[in-house]
Amino acid sequence: MAAAKFSVTVTVTVLLAVFFFNLAKSQFLCKQSSCRGDFSVAVRFPFRLKNTQDSRCGFKPDFDLYCNNRRQTILNLPDAGDVAVLFIDYKSQSLWINDPDQCFPRRLLIDAFDLKNSPFTSYYRSEPYTVLNCSYPVETLPFDRVRKIKCMSGGNYSVITVPNRDLDMVNAFLPSQCNVIATRRLPSTRMELEEGMVVKWSNPNCGNCEARGGDCGFKTNSSAEIQCFNLPKSGIPRGAKYGLIMGVGIPGLLFIIGLGCYVCGKFKAFTRPNRPTTNLSLSMGHQPTSAVAGLDKPTIDSFPKIQLGESRRLPKPNDTTCAICLSEYQPKETIRTIPDCRHFFHSNCIDEWLKLNATCPVCRNSPEDSSAASTPSRTVSMSASMSPRSVASLPRHD
Ligand SMILES: *[C@@H]1O[C@H](CO)[C@@H](O)[C@H](O)[C@H]1NC(C)=O
Ligand SMILES: *[C@@H]1O[C@H](CO)[C@@H](O)[C@H](O)[C@H]1NC(C)=O
Ligand SMILES: *[C@@H]1O[C@H](CO)[C@@H](O)[C@H](O)[C@H]1NC(C)=O
Protein backbone atom coordinates (compact mmCIF):
# COMPACT_ATOMS: atom_id res chain seq x y z
CA MET A 1 0.00 0.00 0.00
CA ALA A 2 2.98 2.31 0.66
CA ALA A 3 4.11 1.79 -2.93
CA ALA A 4 0.64 2.71 -4.16
CA LYS A 5 0.68 5.91 -2.11
CA PHE A 6 4.07 6.83 -3.51
CA SER A 7 2.88 6.22 -7.05
CA VAL A 8 -0.18 8.42 -6.52
CA THR A 9 1.98 11.21 -5.14
CA VAL A 10 4.37 11.03 -8.07
CA THR A 11 1.53 11.02 -10.59
CA VAL A 12 -0.21 13.98 -9.01
CA THR A 13 3.05 15.90 -8.87
CA VAL A 14 3.77 15.21 -12.52
CA LEU A 15 0.27 16.16 -13.59
CA LEU A 16 0.48 19.39 -11.60
CA ALA A 17 3.88 20.12 -13.11
CA VAL A 18 2.50 19.62 -16.62
CA PHE A 19 -0.39 21.89 -15.74
CA PHE A 20 1.79 24.70 -14.42
CA PHE A 21 4.28 24.27 -17.24
CA ASN A 22 1.42 25.00 -19.62
CA LEU A 23 0.25 27.94 -17.54
CA ALA A 24 3.71 29.41 -17.52
CA LYS A 25 3.98 29.03 -21.28
CA SER A 26 0.75 30.81 -21.95
CA GLN A 27 1.15 33.38 -19.20
CA PHE A 28 2.66 35.83 -21.61
CA LEU A 29 -0.43 35.67 -23.81
CA CYS A 30 -2.79 38.56 -23.45
CA LYS A 31 -6.43 38.32 -22.64
CA GLN A 32 -8.72 39.51 -25.37
CA SER A 33 -10.37 42.82 -24.83
CA SER A 34 -13.14 44.96 -26.29
CA CYS A 35 -14.46 48.49 -26.24
CA ARG A 36 -18.00 47.63 -25.27
CA GLY A 37 -17.19 44.90 -22.81
CA ASP A 38 -19.49 42.55 -24.74
CA PHE A 39 -16.86 41.35 -27.22
CA SER A 40 -19.03 42.36 -30.16
CA VAL A 41 -15.67 43.41 -31.56
CA ALA A 42 -13.24 41.12 -29.79
CA VAL A 43 -9.72 42.49 -29.79
CA ARG A 44 -6.81 40.08 -29.58
CA PHE A 45 -3.53 39.39 -31.33
CA PRO A 46 -2.47 40.76 -33.83
CA PHE A 47 -4.65 43.66 -32.63
CA ARG A 48 -4.55 45.22 -29.22
CA LEU A 49 -6.33 48.06 -27.47
CA LYS A 50 -3.62 50.63 -27.20
CA ASN A 51 -4.54 52.15 -23.89
CA THR A 52 -5.40 49.00 -22.00
CA GLN A 53 -3.15 46.25 -23.34
CA ASP A 54 0.58 45.81 -23.27
CA SER A 55 2.43 46.61 -26.49
CA ARG A 56 3.47 42.95 -26.78
CA CYS A 57 -0.21 42.00 -27.07
CA GLY A 58 -0.35 43.49 -30.55
CA PHE A 59 1.76 42.66 -33.55
CA LYS A 60 2.81 46.17 -34.56
CA PRO A 61 1.59 49.72 -34.03
CA ASP A 62 -0.25 49.27 -37.36
CA PHE A 63 -2.62 46.96 -35.54
CA ASP A 64 -3.26 49.21 -32.56
CA LEU A 65 -6.89 49.98 -31.88
CA TYR A 66 -8.47 52.37 -29.46
CA CYS A 67 -11.93 53.04 -28.11
CA ASN A 68 -13.48 56.41 -28.81
CA ASN A 69 -15.93 58.09 -26.44
CA ARG A 70 -18.84 56.36 -28.20
CA ARG A 71 -17.16 53.03 -27.43
CA GLN A 72 -16.48 52.38 -31.08
CA THR A 73 -13.37 50.39 -31.89
CA ILE A 74 -11.14 52.70 -33.90
CA LEU A 75 -8.28 51.86 -36.23
CA ASN A 76 -6.02 54.61 -37.51
CA LEU A 77 -4.91 54.07 -41.11
CA PRO A 78 -1.79 56.06 -42.03
CA ASP A 79 -3.20 57.49 -45.26
CA ALA A 80 -6.89 57.28 -44.59
CA GLY A 81 -7.40 58.40 -41.02
CA ASP A 82 -9.66 56.82 -38.42
CA VAL A 83 -12.13 54.09 -39.27
CA ALA A 84 -14.48 52.21 -37.00
CA VAL A 85 -13.94 48.45 -36.89
CA LEU A 86 -17.30 46.66 -36.95
CA PHE A 87 -16.09 43.12 -36.98
CA ILE A 88 -12.82 41.21 -37.02
CA ASP A 89 -12.74 37.77 -38.60
CA TYR A 90 -9.54 36.27 -37.26
CA LYS A 91 -9.85 33.08 -39.27
CA SER A 92 -10.03 34.74 -42.66
CA GLN A 93 -7.83 37.61 -41.39
CA SER A 94 -10.25 40.27 -42.47
CA LEU A 95 -12.02 43.16 -40.87
CA TRP A 96 -15.11 45.11 -41.65
CA ILE A 97 -14.55 48.82 -41.36
CA ASN A 98 -16.80 51.82 -41.72
CA ASP A 99 -16.71 55.50 -41.00
CA PRO A 100 -17.25 56.27 -37.31
CA ASP A 101 -19.68 58.99 -38.39
CA GLN A 102 -21.62 57.01 -40.93
CA CYS A 103 -20.85 58.48 -44.35
CA PHE A 104 -18.06 56.23 -45.46
CA PRO A 105 -18.72 56.85 -49.21
CA ARG A 106 -17.77 60.50 -48.79
CA ARG A 107 -14.33 59.39 -47.70
CA LEU A 108 -14.03 56.83 -50.47
CA LEU A 109 -15.27 59.13 -53.21
CA ILE A 110 -14.13 62.59 -52.19
CA ASP A 111 -11.30 62.20 -49.70
CA ALA A 112 -9.53 59.50 -51.75
CA PHE A 113 -9.39 56.90 -49.04
CA ASP A 114 -6.10 55.05 -49.36
CA LEU A 115 -4.92 51.87 -47.67
CA LYS A 116 -1.30 52.29 -48.68
CA ASN A 117 1.26 52.22 -45.88
CA SER A 118 -1.12 50.10 -43.86
CA PRO A 119 -0.95 46.30 -43.56
CA PHE A 120 -4.46 46.06 -45.02
CA THR A 121 -5.72 45.57 -48.56
CA SER A 122 -9.22 45.44 -49.95
CA TYR A 123 -10.89 42.08 -49.50
CA TYR A 124 -12.61 42.41 -52.85
CA ARG A 125 -11.02 43.15 -56.14
CA SER A 126 -11.62 46.74 -57.17
CA GLU A 127 -12.53 48.35 -60.44
CA PRO A 128 -12.78 51.94 -61.70
CA TYR A 129 -16.01 53.78 -61.04
CA THR A 130 -17.20 57.19 -62.09
CA VAL A 131 -18.85 59.32 -59.46
CA LEU A 132 -21.60 61.58 -60.80
CA ASN A 133 -23.48 64.42 -59.18
CA CYS A 134 -26.87 64.72 -60.84
CA SER A 135 -28.84 67.89 -60.26
CA TYR A 136 -32.15 66.14 -59.81
CA PRO A 137 -33.36 63.51 -57.37
CA VAL A 138 -32.53 60.16 -59.00
CA GLU A 139 -35.13 57.73 -57.73
CA THR A 140 -34.94 54.70 -59.95
CA LEU A 141 -31.58 53.44 -61.02
CA PRO A 142 -31.29 52.02 -64.50
CA PHE A 143 -28.94 49.17 -63.58
CA ASP A 144 -28.15 47.11 -60.59
CA ARG A 145 -24.52 48.17 -60.65
CA VAL A 146 -25.41 51.86 -60.50
CA ARG A 147 -25.56 52.97 -56.88
CA LYS A 148 -27.08 56.03 -55.34
CA ILE A 149 -25.06 57.29 -52.39
CA LYS A 150 -27.83 58.36 -50.05
CA CYS A 151 -25.69 60.02 -47.44
CA MET A 152 -24.22 62.31 -50.12
CA SER A 153 -27.44 63.12 -51.94
CA GLY A 154 -29.82 65.98 -51.18
CA GLY A 155 -33.40 66.80 -51.99
CA ASN A 156 -32.42 68.36 -55.32
CA TYR A 157 -29.42 66.33 -56.32
CA SER A 158 -28.11 62.78 -56.23
CA VAL A 159 -24.63 61.42 -56.11
CA ILE A 160 -24.36 58.11 -57.95
CA THR A 161 -21.54 55.73 -58.79
CA VAL A 162 -21.31 53.88 -62.11
CA PRO A 163 -18.73 51.25 -63.03
CA ASN A 164 -16.71 52.66 -65.93
CA ARG A 165 -17.52 49.65 -68.07
CA ASP A 166 -21.24 50.52 -67.83
CA LEU A 167 -20.80 54.25 -68.34
CA ASP A 168 -21.80 54.39 -71.99
CA MET A 169 -24.89 52.36 -71.37
CA VAL A 170 -25.89 54.39 -68.32
CA ASN A 171 -25.31 57.70 -70.07
CA ALA A 172 -28.01 56.80 -72.55
CA PHE A 173 -30.48 56.48 -69.72
CA LEU A 174 -29.60 59.41 -67.53
CA PRO A 175 -30.68 62.95 -68.32
CA SER A 176 -27.84 65.29 -69.06
CA GLN A 177 -27.71 67.07 -65.71
CA CYS A 178 -25.07 64.76 -64.26
CA ASN A 179 -21.53 65.99 -63.71
CA VAL A 180 -18.55 63.77 -63.21
CA ILE A 181 -17.07 64.67 -59.85
CA ALA A 182 -14.48 61.90 -59.49
CA THR A 183 -13.14 58.63 -60.79
CA ARG A 184 -12.17 56.08 -58.18
CA ARG A 185 -11.26 52.46 -57.87
CA LEU A 186 -13.91 50.95 -55.63
CA PRO A 187 -14.48 47.46 -54.28
CA SER A 188 -16.46 45.48 -56.80
CA THR A 189 -19.04 44.01 -54.47
CA ARG A 190 -22.74 44.15 -53.90
CA MET A 191 -22.15 45.52 -50.44
CA GLU A 192 -23.37 49.13 -50.27
CA LEU A 193 -20.64 51.71 -49.79
CA GLU A 194 -22.62 53.03 -46.82
CA GLU A 195 -22.04 49.70 -45.13
CA GLY A 196 -18.30 50.21 -45.17
CA MET A 197 -15.82 47.82 -46.67
CA VAL A 198 -13.94 44.67 -45.85
CA VAL A 199 -10.17 44.66 -45.76
CA LYS A 200 -7.75 41.83 -45.08
CA TRP A 201 -4.25 41.39 -43.79
CA SER A 202 -1.75 38.67 -44.59
CA ASN A 203 1.01 39.21 -42.03
CA PRO A 204 1.06 37.93 -39.31
CA ASN A 205 -0.50 34.72 -40.46
CA CYS A 206 -2.60 33.57 -37.52
CA GLY A 207 -5.70 32.46 -39.45
CA ASN A 208 -4.76 28.81 -39.39
CA CYS A 209 -4.05 28.90 -35.66
CA GLU A 210 -7.37 30.63 -35.04
CA ALA A 211 -9.20 28.13 -37.23
CA ARG A 212 -7.80 25.30 -35.14
CA GLY A 213 -8.93 27.01 -31.95
CA GLY A 214 -5.54 28.22 -30.78
CA ASP A 215 -4.30 31.57 -29.50
CA CYS A 216 -1.78 33.35 -31.64
CA GLY A 217 0.94 35.52 -30.13
CA PHE A 218 4.60 36.30 -29.88
CA LYS A 219 6.63 33.24 -28.99
CA THR A 220 8.25 34.88 -26.00
CA ASN A 221 8.33 38.18 -24.26
CA SER A 222 11.07 39.47 -26.50
CA SER A 223 10.97 37.48 -29.74
CA ALA A 224 9.53 38.61 -33.03
CA GLU A 225 8.41 35.08 -33.85
CA ILE A 226 4.75 34.13 -33.80
CA GLN A 227 3.48 30.98 -32.19
CA CYS A 228 0.17 29.22 -31.83
CA PHE A 229 -0.64 28.51 -28.19
CA ASN A 230 -3.31 26.60 -26.35
CA LEU A 231 -4.51 24.43 -29.19
CA PRO A 232 -7.39 22.30 -28.04
CA LYS A 233 -6.43 18.85 -26.84
CA SER A 234 -7.58 17.24 -30.07
CA GLY A 235 -4.66 18.95 -31.79
CA ILE A 236 -1.35 17.09 -32.00
CA PRO A 237 0.42 17.63 -28.69
CA ARG A 238 3.99 18.82 -28.77
CA GLY A 239 6.58 16.07 -28.53
CA ALA A 240 7.91 16.56 -25.03
CA LYS A 241 4.54 16.99 -23.43
CA TYR A 242 3.24 14.01 -25.34
CA GLY A 243 6.08 11.81 -24.17
CA LEU A 244 5.66 12.95 -20.60
CA ILE A 245 1.98 12.23 -20.60
CA MET A 246 2.38 8.88 -22.34
CA GLY A 247 5.29 7.81 -20.19
CA VAL A 248 4.20 8.86 -16.75
CA GLY A 249 0.80 10.47 -16.79
CA ILE A 250 -1.21 7.68 -18.38
CA PRO A 251 0.16 4.78 -16.33
CA GLY A 252 -0.34 6.92 -13.24
CA LEU A 253 -3.84 7.79 -14.31
CA LEU A 254 -4.62 4.13 -14.98
CA PHE A 255 -3.36 3.35 -11.52
CA ILE A 256 -5.62 5.97 -10.00
CA ILE A 257 -8.56 4.64 -11.98
CA GLY A 258 -7.70 1.14 -10.83
CA LEU A 259 -7.50 2.30 -7.24
CA GLY A 260 -10.74 4.19 -7.73
CA CYS A 261 -12.47 1.09 -9.03
CA TYR A 262 -11.23 -0.87 -6.08
CA VAL A 263 -12.70 1.73 -3.75
CA CYS A 264 -15.85 1.89 -5.86
CA GLY A 265 -16.24 -1.83 -5.54
CA LYS A 266 -16.38 -1.41 -1.82
CA PHE A 267 -19.23 1.03 -2.11
CA LYS A 268 -21.15 -0.63 -4.91
CA ALA A 269 -24.42 0.34 -3.34
CA PHE A 270 -23.68 4.04 -3.86
CA THR A 271 -22.25 3.82 -7.34
CA ARG A 272 -25.05 1.88 -8.96
CA PRO A 273 -27.50 4.82 -9.31
CA ASN A 274 -24.87 6.82 -11.17
CA ARG A 275 -24.51 4.34 -13.96
CA PRO A 276 -26.76 4.50 -16.96
CA THR A 277 -29.35 1.87 -16.14
CA THR A 278 -32.76 0.96 -17.39
CA ASN A 279 -34.19 2.26 -14.16
CA LEU A 280 -37.16 4.27 -15.38
CA SER A 281 -37.39 6.82 -12.60
CA LEU A 282 -33.72 7.53 -12.92
CA SER A 283 -33.72 8.19 -16.67
CA MET A 284 -36.76 10.39 -16.23
CA GLY A 285 -34.95 12.20 -13.51
CA HIS A 286 -32.15 12.95 -15.97
CA GLN A 287 -34.41 14.22 -18.69
CA PRO A 288 -34.94 17.82 -17.50
CA THR A 289 -31.22 18.47 -17.49
CA SER A 290 -30.90 17.79 -21.19
CA ALA A 291 -34.36 19.03 -22.20
CA VAL A 292 -34.29 22.47 -20.51
CA ALA A 293 -32.09 23.39 -23.44
CA GLY A 294 -33.00 27.09 -23.64
CA LEU A 295 -30.30 29.71 -23.20
CA ASP A 296 -30.27 32.53 -20.71
CA LYS A 297 -30.35 36.18 -21.66
CA PRO A 298 -26.65 37.01 -21.20
CA THR A 299 -25.75 34.09 -23.45
CA ILE A 300 -28.24 35.13 -26.11
CA ASP A 301 -27.08 38.73 -25.84
CA SER A 302 -23.52 37.64 -26.43
CA PHE A 303 -24.36 36.42 -29.94
CA PRO A 304 -23.46 38.86 -32.70
CA LYS A 305 -26.15 41.27 -33.80
CA ILE A 306 -26.10 43.66 -36.72
CA GLN A 307 -28.42 46.30 -38.03
CA LEU A 308 -29.23 45.98 -41.69
CA GLY A 309 -28.32 48.76 -44.05
CA GLU A 310 -30.55 49.98 -46.84
CA SER A 311 -29.39 47.17 -49.11
CA ARG A 312 -30.43 44.49 -46.59
CA ARG A 313 -27.52 42.41 -47.74
CA LEU A 314 -26.52 39.50 -45.60
CA PRO A 315 -23.43 37.34 -45.56
CA LYS A 316 -25.46 34.65 -47.28
CA PRO A 317 -27.12 36.23 -50.29
CA ASN A 318 -30.03 33.80 -50.32
CA ASP A 319 -31.12 34.40 -46.77
CA THR A 320 -33.50 37.25 -47.29
CA THR A 321 -36.20 35.77 -45.10
CA CYS A 322 -36.16 35.02 -41.42
CA ALA A 323 -36.75 31.28 -41.05
CA ILE A 324 -38.64 31.80 -37.80
CA CYS A 325 -41.26 34.40 -38.63
CA LEU A 326 -40.98 33.86 -42.42
CA SER A 327 -41.01 37.56 -43.15
CA GLU A 328 -38.42 39.32 -45.25
CA TYR A 329 -35.75 41.46 -43.69
CA GLN A 330 -36.39 45.15 -43.99
CA PRO A 331 -33.79 47.93 -43.92
CA LYS A 332 -32.76 49.01 -40.40
CA GLU A 333 -33.99 45.79 -38.84
CA THR A 334 -31.73 44.16 -36.29
CA ILE A 335 -30.69 40.63 -37.07
CA ARG A 336 -28.72 38.19 -35.02
CA THR A 337 -26.63 35.17 -35.88
CA ILE A 338 -25.87 32.03 -33.94
CA PRO A 339 -22.15 31.48 -33.44
CA ASP A 340 -20.53 28.85 -35.66
CA CYS A 341 -23.69 28.19 -37.58
CA ARG A 342 -23.99 31.47 -39.47
CA HIS A 343 -27.70 31.47 -39.99
CA PHE A 344 -29.37 34.80 -39.55
CA PHE A 345 -32.72 35.65 -38.01
CA HIS A 346 -34.57 38.68 -36.78
CA SER A 347 -33.08 39.43 -33.42
CA ASN A 348 -36.45 39.44 -31.65
CA CYS A 349 -37.46 36.13 -33.29
CA ILE A 350 -34.27 34.24 -32.54
CA ASP A 351 -34.05 35.60 -29.00
CA GLU A 352 -37.47 34.13 -28.19
CA TRP A 353 -36.55 30.88 -29.86
CA LEU A 354 -33.25 30.54 -28.01
CA LYS A 355 -34.96 31.05 -24.68
CA LEU A 356 -36.74 27.77 -25.40
CA ASN A 357 -34.27 25.88 -27.59
CA ALA A 358 -30.51 25.96 -27.54
CA THR A 359 -30.21 24.86 -31.17
CA CYS A 360 -30.28 26.76 -34.43
CA PRO A 361 -33.78 26.40 -35.93
CA VAL A 362 -32.33 25.82 -39.38
CA CYS A 363 -29.40 23.49 -38.96
CA ARG A 364 -30.04 22.29 -35.40
CA ASN A 365 -26.47 23.00 -34.39
CA SER A 366 -26.13 23.97 -30.81
CA PRO A 367 -24.44 27.31 -30.26
CA GLU A 368 -23.03 25.90 -27.08
CA ASP A 369 -19.85 23.92 -26.87
CA SER A 370 -20.68 20.22 -26.88
CA SER A 371 -19.01 19.86 -23.50
CA ALA A 372 -20.85 22.84 -22.14
CA ALA A 373 -24.13 21.62 -23.55
CA SER A 374 -23.93 18.46 -21.54
CA THR A 375 -23.20 20.40 -18.38
CA PRO A 376 -26.12 21.81 -16.51
CA SER A 377 -24.00 24.68 -15.24
CA ARG A 378 -24.90 27.99 -16.86
CA THR A 379 -21.60 29.60 -16.08
CA VAL A 380 -19.82 27.06 -18.21
CA SER A 381 -22.16 27.48 -21.15
CA MET A 382 -21.92 31.23 -20.91
CA SER A 383 -18.17 31.35 -21.08
CA ALA A 384 -18.32 28.91 -23.97
CA SER A 385 -20.65 31.09 -25.97
CA MET A 386 -18.67 34.21 -25.16
CA SER A 387 -15.72 32.47 -26.71
CA PRO A 388 -14.03 34.75 -29.21
CA ARG A 389 -14.13 32.20 -31.96
CA SER A 390 -17.87 31.92 -32.06
CA VAL A 391 -18.75 34.97 -34.05
CA ALA A 392 -20.26 35.16 -37.48
CA SER A 393 -18.28 35.86 -40.57
CA LEU A 394 -18.07 39.02 -42.54
CA PRO A 395 -20.37 39.83 -45.38
CA ARG A 396 -18.88 38.08 -48.35
CA HIS A 397 -20.72 38.60 -51.53
CA ASP A 398 -19.71 39.61 -54.93
C1 LIG B 1 -23.68 68.03 -55.87
O2 LIG B 1 -24.34 69.14 -56.38
C3 LIG B 1 -25.01 69.94 -55.43
C4 LIG B 1 -25.67 71.08 -56.13
O5 LIG B 1 -26.35 70.65 -57.25
C6 LIG B 1 -24.05 70.46 -54.39
O7 LIG B 1 -24.73 71.17 -53.40
C8 LIG B 1 -23.34 69.27 -53.75
O9 LIG B 1 -22.37 69.72 -52.84
C10 LIG B 1 -22.69 68.45 -54.84
N11 LIG B 1 -22.07 67.31 -54.20
C12 LIG B 1 -20.82 66.91 -54.45
C13 LIG B 1 -20.31 65.75 -53.70
O14 LIG B 1 -20.13 67.50 -55.26
C1 LIG C 1 -34.40 72.67 -54.75
O2 LIG C 1 -34.13 73.70 -55.67
C3 LIG C 1 -35.12 74.73 -55.72
C4 LIG C 1 -34.72 75.72 -56.74
O5 LIG C 1 -33.92 75.19 -57.72
C6 LIG C 1 -35.25 75.35 -54.36
O7 LIG C 1 -36.29 76.30 -54.37
C8 LIG C 1 -35.57 74.31 -53.32
O9 LIG C 1 -35.56 74.90 -52.04
C10 LIG C 1 -34.52 73.23 -53.37
N11 LIG C 1 -34.88 72.17 -52.43
C12 LIG C 1 -34.01 71.65 -51.59
C13 LIG C 1 -34.53 70.58 -50.72
O14 LIG C 1 -32.86 72.01 -51.54
C1 LIG D 1 9.12 40.58 -20.14
O2 LIG D 1 10.19 41.47 -20.31
C3 LIG D 1 10.29 42.48 -19.33
C4 LIG D 1 11.46 43.35 -19.66
O5 LIG D 1 11.67 43.39 -21.03
C6 LIG D 1 10.43 41.87 -17.96
O7 LIG D 1 10.45 42.88 -16.98
C8 LIG D 1 9.27 40.93 -17.69
O9 LIG D 1 9.45 40.27 -16.47
C10 LIG D 1 9.16 39.90 -18.78
N11 LIG D 1 7.99 39.09 -18.56
C12 LIG D 1 7.94 37.77 -18.74
C13 LIG D 1 6.66 37.12 -18.49
O14 LIG D 1 8.92 37.14 -19.09
Residue-level pLDDT at 314? 61
Q: Is residue 343 in a domain?
A: yes
Residue 152 Cα: closest atom of ligand 1: 13
- Where among 168, 188, 208 does a domain terminate? 188
Q: For the chain, how many structural domains are there in total?
A: 2
Ligand 3 atom 13 nearest Cα: 28
Cβ < 6 Å from ligand 1: which residues?
A: 133, 135, 152, 157, 159, 181
Distance in Å, CA 43 to ligand 3 centroid: 22
Helix-helix angle 250-266:2-26, to 10 degrees: 130
Map 51-67 to HEC letters.
CCCCHHHCCCHHHEEEE
Gap between the Cα atoms of 249 and 236, Å rounded = 17
Residue-level pLDDT at 350? 84
Q: Is residue 243 in a domain?
A: no
CB 108 within 8 A of CB 184: yes
CB 11 within 8 A of CB 3: no
Residue 155 Cα: closest atom of ligand 2: 13
Best residue for ligand 1 mutational test, from 157, 160, 177, 181 (most atoms within 8 Å of Cβ): 157
Residue-level pLDDT at 265? 56
Nearest one of 135, 113, 139, 137 to 126, comparing CA atoms? 113
Residue 135 Cα: closest atom of ligand 1: 5
Ligand 1 atom 6 nearest Cα: 157
88 C-beta neighbours (distance < 10 Å), count: 23
Nearest listed ligand to the Cα of residue 24:
3
Ligand 3 atom 8 nearest Cα: 221
DSSP β-bridge partners for residue 321: 328
Nearest listed ligand to the Cα of residue 23:
3
Distance in Å, CA 132 to ligand 1 centroid: 10
Q: Is residue 333 in a domain?
A: yes
Best residue for ligand 3 mutational test, from 221, 222, 223 (most atoms within 8 Å of Cβ): 221
Burial (CB < 10 A; 0-12, 13-18, 19+), residue 117, is exposed
Nearest listed ligand to the Cα of residue 177:
1
Q: Is residue 26 in a domain?
A: no
**DSSP β-ladder status, 334-337 and 305-307:** antiparallel
Domain containing 170 equals 125-188
Distance in Å, CA 388 to ligand 3 centroid: 26
Gap between the Cα atoms of 312 and 326, Å rounded = 16
- Where among 140, 168, 188 does a domain terminate? 188
Q: Is residue 329 in a domain?
A: yes
Distance in Å, CA 222 to ligand 3 centroid: 8
Q: Is residue 152 in a domain?
A: yes
The CATH number of whichever domain residue 330 belongs to comes to: 3.30.40.10
Nearest listed ligand to the Cα of residue 156:
2
CB 218 within 8 A of CB 225: yes
- Where among 169, 188, 207 does a domain terminate? 188
Cβ < 6 Å from ligand 2: which residues?
A: 154-156
Q: How far is CA 228 from CA 55, 210, 211, 215, 321, in A?
A: 18, 8, 11, 6, 39
Nearest one of 64, 96, 92, 57 to 210, comparing CA atoms? 92
Q: What is the mean pLDDT of each run of 10 residues along the chain (398 residues)?
A: 57 51 51 87 93 90 94 94 95 95 90 91 93 88 84 93 89 80 90 92 95 91 88 60 56 62 51 35 33 74 76 61 74 77 78 79 65 35 34 42
Residue 133 Cα: closest atom of ligand 1: 1
Residue-level pLDDT at 183? 94
Residue 220 Cα: closest atom of ligand 3: 14
Distance in Å, CA 156 to ligand 1 centroid: 9
Distance in Å, CA 158 to ligand 2 centroid: 13
Cβ < 6 Å from ligand 3: which residues?
A: 27-28, 221
Gap between the Cα atoms of 296 and 315, Å rounded = 26
Distance in Å, CA 21 to ligand 3 centroid: 17
Distance in Å, CA 167 to ligand 2 centroid: 28
Distance in Å, CA 178 to ligand 1 centroid: 10
Q: Is residue 367 in a domain?
A: yes
Residue-level pLDDT at 296? 83
